[in-house]
Amino acid sequence: ETGVTQTPRHLVMGMTNKKSLKCEQHLGHNAMYWYKQSAKKPLELMFVYNFKEQTENNSVPSRFSPECPNSSHLFLHLHTLQPEDSALYLCASSHGGDNEQETQYFGPGTRLLVL
Amino acid sequence: GQNIDQPTEMTATEGAIVQINCTYQTSGFNGLFWYQQHAGEAPTFLSYNVLDGLEEKGRFSSFLSRSKGYSYLLLKELQMKDSASYLCAVSATDSNYQLIWGAGTKLIIKP
């Protein structure tokens, strides 16, 4: 099983739609991350969960709502998005806990287009 | 503030050597990562430096100078499959140990 998987890989949605992105990691990690990647821009950290608790919310608009039911699964619920939210959304995981320096392992991303 | 700079794009020839530079400005430096990202794929971990000096891993090496806020990724014996974006990321206490990312360097390999 691939380390970090994401579904769907591609998503087109209207501004009034509600959709969810799913991430699953099979690495036994305890920390999970959502990033936004726009063309020619640095990765933007959105949310961090450590042992299912949200530890970072990087001033993300409320139209993005994360959910972490357990250490292996992470969701990003989307509603009333704007065209500028079109981007690649990457999920990552790392060992978690008190280890302050950890390698993050990424999923392939969901390419989102908001019309 | 925190800032990561790397060139937007570089071109190199198959079989040659290329050096991708990364400069950073952070408070409380706690390590620097290099990732490779092929178009449409996940970023994959290449290297991690926290102490000054050169870390070698096969054809890839990464160098760090903390006093200069500088790192480079050295790719030897370039292959066509090395065409990708290379992302520099820094961890710092000021960012609560979360990674601050550069915009990436797109490397184009020509035959």
Chain B residues with CB-CB distance to A48 below 8 A: 98
In whole angstroms, what is the distance from residue B27 CA to residue B29 CA?
6
Give all strands (DSSP E) within chain B, no chain letters. 3-5, 9-13, 18-25, 29-37, 44-49, 53-57, 60-65, 70-75, 84-92, 99-101, 105-110
Q: Which residue of A has its CA nearest to B31?
A: A101
Residues A15/A7, Cβ–Cβ less than 8 Å: no
Interfacial residues of B (vs A; Cβ cutoff 8 Å): 4, 8, 30-31, 33, 35, 40-45, 48, 50, 87, 89, 91, 96-104
A1, pLDDT greater than 60: no
Quick check: helix, strand or coil at residue A44? strand
Nearest Cα to Cα of residue A4 among B71, B74, B45, B42: B42
pLDDT band at B11 (very low <50, low <70, confident <90, very high): very high
Q: Which residue of A has its CA nearest to B6?
A: A42
Per-residue pLDDT tens digits for A22-37: 999 999 999 999 999 9
Q: Which residue of B has its CA nearest to A103?
A: B45
- pLDDT value for A102: 83
Of the candidates A42, A45, A101, which has its C-beta nearest B4's C-beta?
Answer: A42
Residues B76/B20, Cβ–Cβ less than 8 Å: no
Testing the interface with B: which of A104, A105, A110, A112 to mutate, by most B Cβ within 10 A?
A104
Encode B21-43 in three state secondary structure.
EEEEECCCEEEEEEEEECCCCCC
B25, pLDDT greater than 90: yes
Chain A residues with CB-CB distance to B31 below 8 A: 101
- pLDDT value for A100: 60
Q: Which residue of B has its CA nearest to A49?
A: B98
Question: Per the structure block, which two tokens stand in for B4?
Answer: 């990561």
Of the candidates B31, B50, B103, which has its C-beta nearest A41's C-beta?
Answer: B103
Residues A55/A100, Cβ–Cβ less than 8 Å: no
Nearest Cα to Cα of residue B13 among B80, B70, B65: B80
Average pLDDT across chain B, whole number:
94
* Alpha carbons within 13 A on the beta-carbon side of A3: 18
Torsion of CA B5, B11, B17, B21, to 10 degrees: 0
Measured in degrees and rounded to the nearest 5, phi and psi for residue B93 equal -65, -30
Per-residue pLDDT tens digits for A52-78: 888 888 889 999 999 999 999 999 999
